[in-house]
Structure 1
Amino acid sequence: MRVRYGNLQTALIRKGYQFFDDGDYNLNLIGIRTADNQSNFFNDHFAVAWRFDGAPHCLVFPATTDPGIFWRQNPMHIRGTAILVPGQYQRLWQLGMHRGQYHALVQLMPARVYRDNNRDSIIDIDAPIDDGLFGINCHRASGTHGSQRVDKWSAGCQVLANPFDFALLIALCGRAAREWGTTFTYTLLEASDL
């Protein structure tokens, strides 16, 4: 999928969401969920759009916005596996530690999730919605290599497939934090929104 700064800006504005277009390193963190609701692969996208010296920049990384099959079939929550509902979440994340192991973006504000509880491999987005703090973080899969399959890497988090892409994302967030603070808004789109 080819995604550019202008595409993301237009999509967010069309949906009535905020798009940060002022100042250097004012990051827009945007997930793009594909229509495939059975995949256990990193078939979604995680985009970062920002300006530097007035010029627009955009990076797009392979990611998953869906839980892996393991957690769909073995929910860790009694109400079912968490699947983030598309939308914009103001100040959703802050810089912190994922499970106390490495720097990541960790949930600070409530999020809305579908609760898929039928324990099959298909993601159900017509499931009941739950609001709250569920540990919906943004982190990486393996720390040593790019991952192909989601499996246990996501139980509802937004997960980048490649540790080097993730390191770049966290470096950008660290640089942005010096200008804009350590909290970050996240917008989850569907591919059809672009």
Structure 2
Amino acid sequence: MIAPSIEKLLTVMDQKGYRVYNTPTIDWNLNIVGIRNKSLVPDKFDDTLVVFHNFLNHWHVSYYPITTDPSIYYLKKPLHPKGTAILLEGQYKGVYEIDKHNNKYYALCQRLGDVSVYRDNDKNGTLELNPATIQTGKFGINIHKGPKNGNWGIDNNPAYSAGCQVFADSRHFKEFMDKCYNGQKAFGNKFTYTLLNQKDLE
């Protein structure tokens, strides 16, 4: 997991011209930032989700192990005719809301706007980020839970992500959703997701 300091995160966000939500007098104005590992390895929860918010001039920061990559299962068996989605790094303002993921449980779902994805269609189980394949639209790139124990072993379904951002541990996901519910009460059901690369923070 990658755990940069809040100072480093704020600097990189500013350098990229990304919005940082900062209301010290009103709590739960959440910044939700994914950090993709510079080594592209599928089926490893080696990426990070950082959630931070400022209240009373103090930044509250939480780090969670996730994957920002689709699983090998879907890389080999794409659901989309043009290939499996891999979310493009960038900031997606106000495109997420709390809604049901696959009509099963509440997660942070891409319902309110577009995101951009690479399409990997060679079906070889590795990650290919080809700019010529980029598509923009509503593809259901949600932020949802993973296994109970953070380990995709024989007890877990290998078809866990067709491009979503997936938590390594469902207990962390519950904690994350509690933060989102607080954010919803304070600022409404609209969230921004920003995806960085580990290289941005070096």
TM exceeding 0.5 = yes
What does 1:1-194 align with in structure 2 at a 5 Å threshold? 1-22=2-23, 23-108=26-111, 109-127=113-131, 128-142=133-147, 144-148=148-152, 151-194=158-201
Distance 1:68 1:123 in 2: 10
Amino acid at match of 1:3: P
Amino acid at match of 2:97: Q
Distance 1:187 1:93 in 2: 11
Contact 2:92 2:192 in 1 (8 A): yes
Distance 1:190 1:96 in 2: 27
Q: How many residues align?
A: 193
TM-score by length of 2: 0.91
Structure 1 consecutive aligned stretches of length 4 or more whose deviation exceeds 4 Å? none
TM-score by length of 1: 0.95
Percent identity over the alignment? 36
Distance 1:35 1:151 in 2: 23
Alpha-carbon RMSD across the aligned residues, in angstroms, is 1.4
Contact 2:42 2:70 in 1 (8 A): no
Distance 1:178 1:53 in 2: 18
Moved more, 76-85 or 173-182: 173-182
Shift of 1:182: 0.8
Contact 1:48 1:59 in 2 (8 A): yes
Could you list the runs of 5+ residues in structure 1 that have no partner in the other structure? none
Distance 2:64 2:139 in 1: 24
Contact 2:152 2:158 in 1 (8 A): no
Distance 1:38 1:168 in 2: 26
Could you list the runs of 5+ residues in structure 2 that have no partner in the other structure? none
